[in-house]
Amino acid sequence: SKKGPYKYSRHPQYVGYISMLIGLIIYTHTLQVLIISILAILWYILATYTEEPWLEKNYNYKAYKKQTPRFL
């Protein structure tokens, strides 16, 4: 069974990046950071949809996918 952050999220690194970007948006409070951060957040969300089919094909990912949420 999975341990650490992968027990709670299939993509904990993306959860960390997205959380950091949300914090950056709040901290800087600028339009430029808002736009760039939203684009980056979308990138991380879309990345999971491209990675997971590959993971299913090459690893025993389907069982893990059923047990663990994508983000939280």
pLDDT tens digits, 51-70? 999 999 999 899 999 999 99
Could you give the CA distance from residue 8 to residue 6 in angstroms, rounded to a whole number? Answer: 5
13: CB partners within 8 A, 6+ apart: none
pLDDT the model gives residue 3: 85
The pLDDT tens digits of the residues spanning 18-62 come to 999 999 999 999 999 999 999 999 999 999 999 999 999 999 899
Tokens of 13: 């690194």
pTM of the model: 0.87
Handedness of CA 48, 43, 41, 15 (dihedral sign): positive
What's the pLDDT at 2? Answer: 76
